[in-house]
């Protein structure tokens, strides 16, 4: 089972601490207590083991040299036999210490494997930034995938962001925020809302040279290592593209709902003849634009000619929509106009670039169809209302005048 965000929080809790105070340093430190303690214990056990073996051997060697100098070979033989007895007594102790050390080494290796498993299976991107604002080698696999980083170790976080972010202001704000996070006086909780990367739009260039936009959410926590040089900032990045797009879609749906009422008013007020003529012209322009797009084209000049052709069709309709005026239509026409103008400014175009224009053309056609449908309903309602009024009038004229009694 993959770790859930709450598990990740627990992992992150291991590292969050202020950079001041050794007491707090020991309380929350990076790397996690399991791995750090185990590796420390292994080193201590190995040192004790070495001391245990070296001290008696050194003592016996010194004692033997002394005896050899003072009393000759017989005394040395006796001393060596005594030494052998001492070593035989020490042997079980040595083996026990060796076993302990091996167990601790195994524990440390298991802890490292667990950490690697966690980092490998996290959905969230996890990374560590040093005081020099460079990425450390420790990081989750999804971080490399999300930030498109092959080898993050040693790279300046600022450079990583520069390649992703769309504007320099956000980059500068991010660097300032990270520097602020390092300040001993800074309250981590208080400055958290200032994080400029809490939701940020980034751009990646894929293997075909096309640009891919995603929305990422970064969060940062200060962590203290076992030594001051091990201090770092623990960063977490998640891909929130789906969420952001859903929110935008919801906002769009709300805006559309608001505009329906405006559209109805526009259509009620519009001159019916002018409206039908406009809708016919718009339909004609959209079909012509689509025909231009569907015709085959080879090479950049032909692609640009296509764009100009579609732009001309749209410009004519935009002028007509502004004159009538139909605000909802004009707004959508300006949207496609912006897309097409942006494409015209490019020197190199590929088929993918036309996708936004086609999506907007589809929306314009749907909007025109909605307008025509509402207008037809309004015409029917007006006709029905006129017929009812005529019936009422006729009924009133046929009704005989009430007979008034003659006054004598």
Burial class (CB in 10 A: 0-12, 13-18, 19+), 393: exposed
Site string for another protein, 221-260 (x = CB under 8 A): --------------------xx--xx-xx-xx--x-----
Q: Which is nearer to another protein, 1 or 257 (CB)?
A: 257
Q: Does 391 bind another protein (CB under 8 A)?
A: no
Q: Which is nearer to another protein, 239 or 320 (CB)?
A: 239
Tally the C-alpha atoms within 13 A of residue 332's C-alpha that lie toward its C-beta. Answer: 23
Q: Which is nearer to another protein, 55 or 247 (CB)?
A: 247
Q: Does 205 bind another protein (CB under 8 A)?
A: no
Q: Cα separation of 403 and 56, whole Å?
A: 143
Site string for another protein, 307-336 (x = CB under 8 A): --------------------x---xx--x-
Burial class (CB in 10 A: 0-12, 13-18, 19+), 145: exposed
Could you count the other beta carbons within 10 Å of the beta carbon of residue 240?
A: 17
Structure tokens that stand for 315 in this block: 């410009």
Q: Cα separation of 282 and 274, whole Å?
A: 12
Buried b (16+ CB within 10 A) or exposed e, 108-142: beebeeebeebbeebebbbbbbbeeebbbebbbeb
Q: What is the tally of helices (H) and strands (E) in the chain?
A: 13, 6
Site string for another protein, 283-302 (x = CB under 8 A): ----x--x--xx--x-----
Q: Which is nearer to another protein, 6 or 206 (CB)?
A: 206
Q: Does 134 bind another protein (CB under 8 A)?
A: no
211-225/29-30 β-pairing: parallel
Q: Which is nearer to another protein, 98 or 241 (CB)?
A: 241
With beta carbons less than 8 A apart as the criterion, state whether 244 and 213 touch: no
Q: Does 344 bind another protein (CB under 8 A)?
A: no
Q: How far is the CB of 337 from another protein (least distance, A)?
A: 11
Q: What is the CA radius of gyration of the chain?
A: 40
**Main-chain dihedrals φ then ψ at residue 154, nearest 5 degrees:** 85, -10
Q: How far is the CB of 295 from another protein (least distance, A)?
A: 8
Region of 48-56, 207-215, 217-225, 391-399 interacting with another protein (CB under 8 A): 207-215
Q: Cα separation of 67 and 86, whole Å?
A: 17
Size, binding site for another protein by CB under 8 A: 39
Region of 96-104, 106-114, 141-149, 204-212 interacting with another protein (CB under 8 A): 204-212
Q: How far is the CB of 195 from another protein (least distance, A)?
A: 24
Q: Which is nearer to another protein, 16 or 318 (CB)?
A: 318
Q: How far is the CB of 331 from another protein (least distance, A)?
A: 6
Beta bridge partners of 218: 237
Tell me which residues in 351-390 interact with another protein (CB under 8 A). 351-352, 354-356, 358-363, 365-366, 369
Q: For residue 255, how far is the Cα from the chain centroid?
A: 26
Q: How far is the CB of 239 from another protein (least distance, A)?
A: 10
Q: Which is nearer to another protein, 70 or 298 (CB)?
A: 298
Place of tokens 């709450």: 6
Q: Which of 314, 259, 254, 264 is nearest to 284 (CA)?
A: 314
Q: Does 265 bind another protein (CB under 8 A)?
A: no
245-248 contacts, C-beta under 8 A, 24 or more apart: 245/215
Q: How far is the CB of 296 from another protein (least distance, A)?
A: 8
Structure tokens that stand for 233 in this block: 């900032």
Q: What is the DSSP letter of 406?
A: P
Q: Which is nearer to another protein, 355 or 383 (CB)?
A: 355
Q: Which is nearer to another protein, 185 or 206 (CB)?
A: 206
Widest CA span in the chain = 176
Q: Which is nearer to another protein, 80 or 327 (CB)?
A: 327
Q: List residues near another protein by CB under 8 A.
A: 206-208, 212, 241-242, 245-246, 248-249, 251-252, 255, 287, 290, 293-294, 297, 303, 306, 327, 331-332, 335, 350-352, 354-356, 358-363, 365-366, 369
């Amino acid at each position: 089972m993959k770790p859930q965000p709450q598990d990740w929080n627990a992992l992150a809790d291991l590292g969050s601490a202020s950079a001041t105070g050794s007491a707090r340093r020991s309380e929350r430190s990076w790397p996690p207590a399991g791995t750090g303690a185990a590796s420390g214990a292994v080193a201590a056990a190995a040192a004790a083991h070495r001391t245990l073996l070296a001290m008696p051997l050194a003592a016996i060697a010194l004692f033997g040299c002394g005896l050899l100098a003072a009393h000759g070979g017989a005394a040395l033989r006796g001393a060596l036999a005594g030494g052998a007895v001492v070593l035989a007594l020490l042997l079980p102790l040595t083996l026990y210490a060796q076993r302990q050390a091996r167990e601790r080494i195994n524990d440390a290796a298991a802890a490292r494997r667990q950490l690697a498993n966690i980092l490998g299976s996290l959905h969230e991107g996890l990374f560590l930034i040093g005081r020099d604002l460079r990425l450390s080698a420790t990081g989750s696999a999804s971080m490399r995938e999300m930030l498109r980083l092959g080898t993050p170790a040693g790279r300046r976080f600022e450079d990583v962001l520069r390649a992703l972010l769309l504007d320099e202001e956000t980059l500068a704000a991010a660097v300032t925020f990270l520097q602020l996070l390092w300040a001993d006086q800074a309250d981590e909780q208080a400055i958290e809302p200032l994080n400029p990367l809490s939701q940020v739009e980034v751009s990646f260039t894929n293997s075909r040279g096309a640009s891919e936009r995603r929305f990422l959410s970064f969060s940062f926590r200060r962590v203290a290592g076992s030594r001051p040089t091990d201090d770092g900032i623990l960063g977490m990045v998640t891909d929130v593209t789906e969420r952001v797009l859903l929110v935008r879609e919801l906002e769009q749906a709300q805006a559309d709902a608001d505009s329906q009422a405006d559209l109805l008013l526009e259509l009620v007020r519009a001159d019916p003849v002018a409206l039908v003529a406009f809708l016919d012209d718009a339909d004609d322009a959209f079909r012509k634009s689509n025909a231009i797009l569907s015709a085959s084209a080879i090479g950049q000049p032909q692609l640009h000619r296509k764009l100009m052709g579609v732009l001309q069709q749209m410009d004519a309709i935009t002028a007509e929509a502004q004159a009538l005026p139909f605000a909802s239509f004009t707004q959508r026409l300006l949207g496609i106009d912006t897309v097409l103008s942006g494409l015209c400014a490019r020197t190199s175009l590929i088929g993918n670039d036309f996708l936004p224009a086609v999506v907007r053309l589809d929306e314009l056609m749907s909007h025109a169809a909605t307008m025509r449908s509402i207008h037809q309903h309004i015409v029917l309602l007006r006709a029905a209302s006129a017929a009812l009024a005529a019936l009422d009038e006729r009924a009133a004229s046929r009704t005989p005048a009430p007979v008034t009694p003659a006054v004598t």
